[in-house]
């Protein structure tokens, strides 16, 4: 087509069609208009936000976290009352009632179950695949291959840029390691994503879609406290740092969040606990528990109560791209619009 006959409208239409092609596999797998999954965030990814993401064309995911089966059943029912679109449920593999939680999901006809927090047990995999599609997280190529062999229907690779519990490797590296080699199942990318152009780049590398958490945490439909959302709007990328471990004898699971008075006190608490251990006041086990219990209830304090100074402000580095509190629909439209504009800017194309 001659360059002078290509109008902006034609370029936009062609770009939208190309974007649909790039994430067609992810859209088909999720059953959604766009292959954008909502990250499962405790206290945040509940029925209001999850249903809003699904209703806007994305794929919402309920964060089960430490919920008991009856609570999860009520949350799923509440979400189904708000949307007739597909959504998933994220379960933690270490949950003591994992089998019952899977049963709750299957009885409610949830189509997709995400297992996180470790290698899923074979019994859980077999139970899920009796009635739902299984999505697993992988931090490395070798595990990705193992998960596919064991029955995973899709994978999520999440880089260390993400908020909450993180691994040690960035999405940039994970994508290069995994995307060229895993073709049997759809692979979704996550961690540090906040603009459509970035999502587009990973789609062109072979990803089937993307998962975002931080941008949705500050959405209008999120039940997070206004103080929590305002902190996201004010924050820069460098404000979202992983938790620090002072002594290798007392491991601290790395969690990325906004630095506040609580994170500074956590360092002081670790130092004090170490001194008590070295003085013989605490056993090693008691010292470890003391360190682990510091953050008990801290995420709820931040998200629900709005205590942004003392609570746990889990956030990914993409928090620097949260510049206002938007509706979920506006966020998804903005992301897809940015990806489409980037594709259109390359035209006109020959042929």
* Residues 67-76: tens digit of each pLDDT: 999 999 999 9
Q: What is the pLDDT of residue 348?
A: 67
In a domain, 229, yes or no: no
Q: Which two tokens stand for residue 61?
A: 């995911």
Residue 329 and residue 268 share a domain: no
| Section 314-335 average pLDDT | 98
Is the pLDDT at 93 greater than 60? The verdict is yes
Residue 45 CA to its chain's centroid (Å): 10
In a domain, 114, yes or no: yes
Residue 307 and residue 328 share a domain: no
In a domain, 275, yes or no: yes
Q: What is the pLDDT of residue 351?
A: 44
Residue 251 and residue 131 share a domain: no
Q: What is the CATH number of the domain that holds 197?
A: 3.20.20.70
From CA 143, how far away is CA 27, in angstroms rounded? 24
Confidence of residue 349 (pLDDT cuts 50, 70, 90): low
Query: How many Cβ atoms sit within 10 Å of the Cβ of residue 236?
Result: 11
From CA 258, how far away is CA 240, in angstroms rounded? 4
For the chain, what is the mean pLDDT? 95
* Residues 14-57: tens digit of each pLDDT: 999 999 999 999 999 999 999 999 999 999 999 999 999 999 99
Q: Identify the CA nearest to 323 among candidates 215, 200, 190, 212.
A: 215
* Residues 231-264: tens digit of each pLDDT: 999 999 999 999 999 999 999 989 999 999 999 9
Is the pLDDT at 8 greater than 90? The verdict is no
* Residues 260-282: tens digit of each pLDDT: 999 999 999 999 999 999 999 99
Residue 142 and residue 96 share a domain: yes
Structural domain for 106, as ranges: 3-224+324-344
Residue 175 and residue 309 share a domain: no
In a domain, 231, yes or no: no
Residue 117 and residue 39 share a domain: yes
Rg for the chain (alpha carbons), in Å?
21
From CA 308, how far away is CA 83, in angstroms rounded? 31
Structural domains in the chain (count): 2
In a domain, 350, yes or no: no
From CA 246, how far away is CA 270, in angstroms rounded? 7
Residue 141 and residue 97 share a domain: yes
Q: What is the pLDDT of residue 63?
A: 98
Residue 339 and residue 290 share a domain: no
Q: What are phi and psi of 286, to 5 degrees?
A: -65, -40
| Section 190-212 average pLDDT | 98
């Amino acid at each position: 087509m001659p360059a002078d006959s290509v109008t902006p409208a034609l370029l936009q239409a062609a770009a939208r069609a190309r974007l649909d092609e790039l994430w067609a596999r992810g859209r088909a797998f999720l059953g959604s208009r766009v292959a954008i999954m909502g990250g499962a965030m405790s206290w945040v990814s509940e029925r209001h936000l999850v249903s809003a993401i699904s209703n806007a064309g994305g794929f919402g995911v309920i964060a089960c976290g430490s919920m008991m089966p009856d609570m999860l059943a009520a949350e799923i029912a509440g979400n189904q009352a708000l949307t007739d679109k597909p959504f998933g449920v994220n379960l933690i593999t270490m949950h003591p009632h994992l089998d019952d939680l899977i049963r709750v999901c299957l009885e409610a006809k949830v189509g997709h179950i995400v297992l996180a927090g470790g290698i899923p047990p074979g019994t859980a995999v077999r139970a899920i695949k009796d009635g739902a599609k299984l999505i697993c997280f992988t931090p490395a190529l070798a595990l990705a291959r193992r998960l596919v062999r064991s029955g995973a229907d899709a994978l999520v690779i999440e880089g260390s840029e993400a908020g909450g519990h993180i691994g040690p490797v960035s999405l940039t590296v994970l994508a290069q390691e995994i995307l060229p080699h895993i073709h049997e199942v759809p692979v979704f990318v996550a961690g540090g994503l906040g603009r459509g152009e970035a999502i587009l780049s990973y789609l062109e590398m072979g990803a089937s879609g993307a998962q975002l958490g931080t941008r949705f945490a500050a959405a209008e439909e999120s039940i997070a406290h206004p103080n929590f959302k305002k902190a996201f709007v004010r924050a820069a990328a460098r404000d979202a740092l992983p938790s620090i471990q002072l002594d290798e004898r007392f491991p601290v699971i790395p969690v990325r969040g906004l630095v506040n008075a609580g994170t500074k006190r956590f360092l002081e608490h670790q130092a004090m606990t170490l001194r008590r251990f070295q003085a013989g006041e605490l056993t090693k086990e008691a010292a470890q528990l003391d360190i682990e219990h510091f953050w008990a209830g801290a995420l709820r304090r931040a998200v629900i109560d709005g205590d942004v100074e003392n609570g746990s402000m889990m956030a990914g580095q993409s928090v620097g791209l949260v510049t206002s509190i938007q509706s979920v629909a506006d966020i998804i439209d903005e992301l897809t619009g940015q990806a489409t504009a980037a594709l259109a800017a390359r035209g006109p194309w020959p042929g």
